[in-house]
Amino acid sequence: MRAIEHELKNRKTYLQDGHLSSIYLGGGTPSVLDHEELYHLFASIGKNFEWSETTEITLEANPDDLTRDYLEILRKTPVNRLSIGIQARAEHQLQWMNRSHTSSQGHQAIENALELGFKQMTIDWIYGLPNLSDVEWIESLQWMESLEIPHFSAYALTVEQQTALAYQIKNGRTEVPSDDAVVRQFDLLLDWVEASKYDQYEISNFSLPGQEAIHNSQYWTGAPYLGLGPSAHSFDGRHRHWNVANNATYMKSIEADELPLETEAFRLKDRINERIMTALRLRSGLDLSQFYHDYPEYGYQLKKRIVSHPNREWWVSEKDSVRLSREGMHYADRAAADLFFD
């Protein structure tokens, strides 16, 4: 924590605008921080940046950390939004994913947070599990809607290499997730959203009207951001920076007044491809008139690639924009890559 505060002081000029619209305490596991540690962290942020009552201040947390006592501590801090990794409702699904929390802990964390006044909240779901039926998936979404959770994210299961789950699948000790189930449950999700109070504003993110995440939205629209701590990434509009992942190396460098980061300069085509990739994840899509204005020499080529794309059913063209259709959302990464400039 001392190293993070020191890094914060050394990088306070990274963002040209000193006013913060969003502060996000993300994983690792920031919910292990006690009241005193959070107090010092926010005091350090306040010495170097400005924020207001409208600033979205999110803390990411595992459900088992969000006891009633801890939530009462958080109410005394500037944190005004929670990101809770509930992942699934059923006990057997959580056990299959090797999650640390139980089903009852997930339910209780959300109910306690709402009771104690955390109206701003997002929860994460994972679909496509081999032991998640279509009926259970819809029932989970209906349960969430009944609690009027303002925001949620839903991600297809991804089996990361060198994890316990990957090892179990490789050795035949557990069932392999089905691609068909992933596609079907994504479509079920979109069908349910269309009939619910929620709006899809990004491929994997959904909210009640006016409750879109400020933090997420600014990332997808290319706003600069500063990341602090081991493995944290930052972006100033033309360069991406990332800190060393090793905790001990990070702290040793900070103590020596060195910034333990690497830098990647964005070429013009890198910036163009980044714009394409992030914009196509948004429901609003890629603003073509703005693209032509910013990159006039590439506008015609981009339009030609879209018009001549072999999978026309992936695209929805409107007056000054293009976005992915429902079919296209299944191939979002490939669709974006097809438009990239080398």
Residue 168 maps to a domain? yes
Residue type, 121: M
Find the domain containing 207 and state its range: 17-220
Residue 80 maps to a domain? yes
Instruction: For residue 170, count other CB atoms closer than 10 A to its CB.
Output: 12
Position 325 scores a pLDDT of 97
Position 86 scores a pLDDT of 95
Of 220, 238, 270, which one is at a domain's C-terminal end? 220
3-state SS class at 247: helix
Residue 11 maps to a domain? no
Q: Is 92 in the same domain as 210? A: yes
Q: Closest Cα partner for 205 from 272, 278, 112, 139? A: 278
Position 160 scores a pLDDT of 79
Residue 248 maps to a domain? no
3-state SS class at 342: coil
Q: Are 199 and 211 in contact (CB under 8 A)?
A: no
Position 170 scores a pLDDT of 80
Tokens of 100: 């640390």
Report the b/e string of 99-125 with b at 16+ CB within 10 A.
bebebebbebbbebbeeeebebbbbbb
Below-70 pLDDT ranges, the chain: none
Q: How far apart are CA 240 and CA 324, in angstroms?
A: 27
Position 96 scores a pLDDT of 87
Position 169 scores a pLDDT of 78
Residue 245 maps to a domain? no
3-state SS class at 186: helix
Q: Which residues pair with 202 in a beta bridge?
A: 205, 282
Of 193, 220, 247, which one is at a domain's C-terminal end? 220
Q: Is 283 in the same domain as 216? A: no
Of 220, 237, 266, which one is at a domain's C-terminal end? 220
Instruction: For residue 235, count other CB atoms closer than 10 A to its CB.
Output: 20
The tokens 């005004």 sit on which residue?
80
| Number of compact structural domains in the chain | 2
Position 84 scores a pLDDT of 96
Residue 240 maps to a domain? no
Residue 40 maps to a domain? yes
Measuring CA to CA, how many Å separate 255 from each of 14, 40, 45, 250, 251?
A: 20, 18, 19, 9, 6
CATH number at residue 200: 3.30.750.200
Burial of 188 (0-12, 13-18, 19+ CB in 10 A): middle
3-state SS class at 297: helix
Q: What is the pLDDT of residues 213-265, one digit of tens each?
A: 999 999 999 899 999 999 999 999 889 999 999 999 999 999 999 989 999 99
**pTM recorded for the entire structure:** 0.93
Q: Is 209 in the same domain as 287? A: no
What is the residue-averaged pLDDT of the chain?
Answer: 93
Q: What is the pLDDT of residues 304-315, one digit of tens each?
A: 999 999 999 999
Residue 114 maps to a domain? yes
Q: Is 68 in the same domain as 216? A: yes
